[in-house]
Amino acid sequence: MKISTKKVEFETKKQFELVDITENVKSALKDSAVKNGSVLVYCPHTTAAIRINNNEALLQQDILKMMYRLVPVDTNYAHDVFEIRENVSVGERSNGHAHLKAFLLGSSETIPVQNGEMLLGKSQSIFFAELDGSRRRSYVIQITGE
């Protein structure tokens, strides 16, 4: 069994942004030479997520609206009360909303691999969801198989 791990670093530009990382993941799969197995895409941040959906501009707007409706930015979150919270870093952002969005969305996706191809549906893309940008970010692609 082979295991290939790649860390990708990049910078986001907006507070909420869906970055299509599908081609990067396909490239890592090709480089790994794994023909059958799985690809795990993992986000090591608590204010970002990894999701699979359709890369269509109007749908992305709908996702943005839904996220802001479910977890508004302008609500009072205990996480943002720095005067009573412990271990607050200098220059820390008020980002309780981003932590909650990331909790709802999740930090990883696993995609089966068959004959050297990810078994994504015709309209599926893999997204890095930025929920508290702009920031320096990373994600990990781990490919396991034969």
Distance of CA 42 to the CA centre of its chain: 7
Domain that holds residue 40: 2-75+96-145
CATH of the domain at 102: 2.60.120.460
Does residue 38 form part of some domain? Answer: yes
| Phi, psi angle pair for 41, to nearest 5° | -115, 120
pLDDT of residue 42: 99
pTM: 0.95
- Specify the number of domains making up the chain: 1
Does residue 81 form part of some domain? Answer: no
Does residue 83 form part of some domain? Answer: no
Q: How far apart are CA 49 and CA 127, in angstroms?
A: 8
pLDDT of residue 21: 98
**DSSP 3-state of 55:** coil
Does residue 11 form part of some domain? Answer: yes
Residue listed under structure tokens 């696993």: 110
pLDDT of residue 136: 98
Does residue 85 form part of some domain? Answer: no
Which secondary-structure segment (H or E) carries 48?
strand 48-54
The DSSP-derived string for 89-135 is PTT----HHHHHHHHHH-SEEEEEEETTEE---TTEEEEEEESS-S-
pLDDT of residue 61: 97
Does residue 32 form part of some domain? Answer: yes
Does residue 19 form part of some domain? Answer: yes
Does residue 43 form part of some domain? Answer: yes
Token pair recorded at residue 98: 């981003």
pLDDT of residue 91: 85
Q: How far apart are CA 146 and CA 144, in angstroms?
A: 7
Q: Walk along the chain (146 residues) in steps of 10 and give the mean pLDDT of each run.
A: 98 97 98 98 98 98 97 95 91 95 98 98 98 97 98
pLDDT of residue 60: 96
Kindly report whether the peptide bond that precedes residue 4 is cis, defined as omega within 30 degrees of 0.
Answer: no
Q: How far is CA 47 from CA 95, 114, 124, in A?
A: 8, 32, 23
